[in-house]
Amino acid sequence: QGTRVGFYSSACPLAESIVKSTVTTHVNSDSTLAAGLLRMHFHDCFVQGCDASVLIAGSGTERTAFANLGLRGFEVIDDAKTQLEATCPGVVSCADILALAARDSVVHSGGLSYQVPTGRRDGRISQASDVSNLPAPFDSVEVQTQKFTAKGLNTQDLVTLVGAHTIGTTACQFFSNRLYNFTANGPDPSIDPSFLPQLQSLCPQNGDGSKRVALDTGSQTKFDLSYYSNLRNSRGILQSDQALWSDASTKTTVQRYLGLIKGLLGLTFNVEFGKSMIKMGNIELKTGTDGEIRKICSAIN
């Protein structure tokens, strides 16, 4: 038993439109929530599979782990769930709401739509200690690749999915080490020297580590190729992002998206992004009678 497109078409025909209108309402009042929801789906899928384990609140849950402290958009999922319980009680899983909200966030940001297979069930386990298999911004391409391979995602999926950094922001604390004493001689040499002062003024040495900076300079709300152009121009923000351009195993995919490799090897980012999201959305699923349909997304039944 797996997931399928239109799983709720008879049990809750309005499910997808309720999620979509909820995302639209919230993102219209705070456009940064689109990035928050997209990232939350990723952090869910990599830990215990796409089962909404990331949404459980309480001491010692995934939400309390360091890597998840910056997650945003929980209130959007809760809002959609409240409306869905009023319309078709006990039918739509929180894991599916999150997968649909991530898709709707991409579309809202100007990305291409894709059909989300549904039928995920919600998990009953959420432990902060499980969060360690998420990639870190200091991971080498080799480690990033290993972490994705462990979830059934290949190198192209890695480069494609990290392209989600075309929207959203990062706290200074995740990259400011690159701006000052990265080497004995100073800043990370893989940063464009003419871009460096701009980043240094956004994240001053010993300044506020929680201050936020766009991951895709100049295009943080648009789902476009600009993130990859920035990598090519040594303007990536996270060390793990810029590394995708320096490592031969990932550089080719970036070049294909940028149209630097044409013809049969050309690739369209927006099309591939949907495909890789569907793959990611199928990690270690609970379906059929496994797990449960939560009543409230922040608590197991």
Please identify, using beta-carbon distances, which residue of 130 and 265 lies nearer to Ca ion: 130
Asked if residue 135 belongs to a known ligand binding site, the reply is yes
In angstroms, give the least distance from the CB of 186 to Ca ion: 29
- Binding to ligand HEM, residues 69-98 (CB under 6 A): 70, 72
Binding mask 201-220 for Ca ion (x = CB under 5 A): ---------------x--x-
The pair of three-digit structure tokens given for residue 251, joined into one six-digit string: 């550089």
DSSP 142: H
What does the alpha-carbon distance between residue 69 and residue 134 come to, in Å, rounded to a whole number? 13
Gap between the Cα atoms of 213 and 169, Å rounded: 5
Minimal CB distance to ligand HEM: which residue?
Answer: 70
258-263: which pairs have CB atoms within 8 A and are 24 or more residues apart? 258/225, 258/228, 258/229, 258/232
Minimum distance between the CB of residue 293 and ligand HEM, rounded to whole angstroms? 25
| Options 26, 41, 43, 108, the catalytic residue | 43
Q: Interface with ligand HEM includes 121 (CB under 6 A)?
A: no
Does 165 help bind ligand HEM (rule: CB under 6 A)?
yes
As a whole number of angstroms, the distance between CA 274 and CA 281 comes to 10
164 binds ligand HEM (CB under 6 A): yes
Select 52 or 162, whichever has its Cβ closest to ligand HEM. 162
Number of residues interacting with ligand HEM: please give it, by CB under 6 A. 26
Residue 109 contacts ligand HEM per CB under 6 A: no
Residues with Cβ within 8 Å of 252's Cβ and at least 6 positions away in sequence, in order, are 261
**Residue 26 annotated as catalytic:** no
Q: Which of 24, 45, 42 is nearest to 33 (CA)?
A: 24
Site for ligand HEM in 139-158 (CB under 6 A): 139, 144
- Rg for the chain (alpha carbons), in Å? 19
Q: Find which of ligand HEM, Ca ion, none residue 48 binds, CB within 5 to 8 Å per kind.
A: Ca ion
Strand-pair category, 4-5 with 212-214: unpaired
Residues in 60-99 that interact with Ca ion by CB under 5 A:
none
Buried b / exposed e along 92-127 (16+ C-beta atoms within 10 A): bbbbbbbbbbbbbbbbbbebeebebbbbbbbbbebe
* Least Cβ distance, residue 284 to Ca ion (angstroms): 8
Q: Of the candidates 62, 69, 41, which has an alpha carbon nearest to the alpha carbon of residue 129?
A: 62
User: Least separation, in Å, of the C-beta of 91 and ligand HEM?
Assistant: 26
Select 14 or 107, whichever has its Cβ closest to ligand HEM.
107
**Residue 50 interacts with ligand HEM (CB under 6 A)?**
no
* CB of 130 or CB of 290, closer to ligand HEM: 130
DSSP 153-201: --HHHHHHHHGGGGS-EEEGGGTGGGTSSSBTTBS-TTS-TTTHHHHHH
Count helices and strands (H / E) in the chain: 11, 4
Binding residue ranges: 44, 47, 49, 51, 53, 62, 135, 165-166, 216, 224
Binding residue ranges for Ca(2+): 44, 47, 49, 51, 53, 62, 166, 216, 224
Question: Which residues are tagged catalytic?
Answer: 43
Binding site for ligand HEM (CB under 6 A): 32, 35-36, 38-39, 42, 70, 72, 135-137, 139, 144, 161-162, 164-165, 167-171, 174, 215, 238, 240
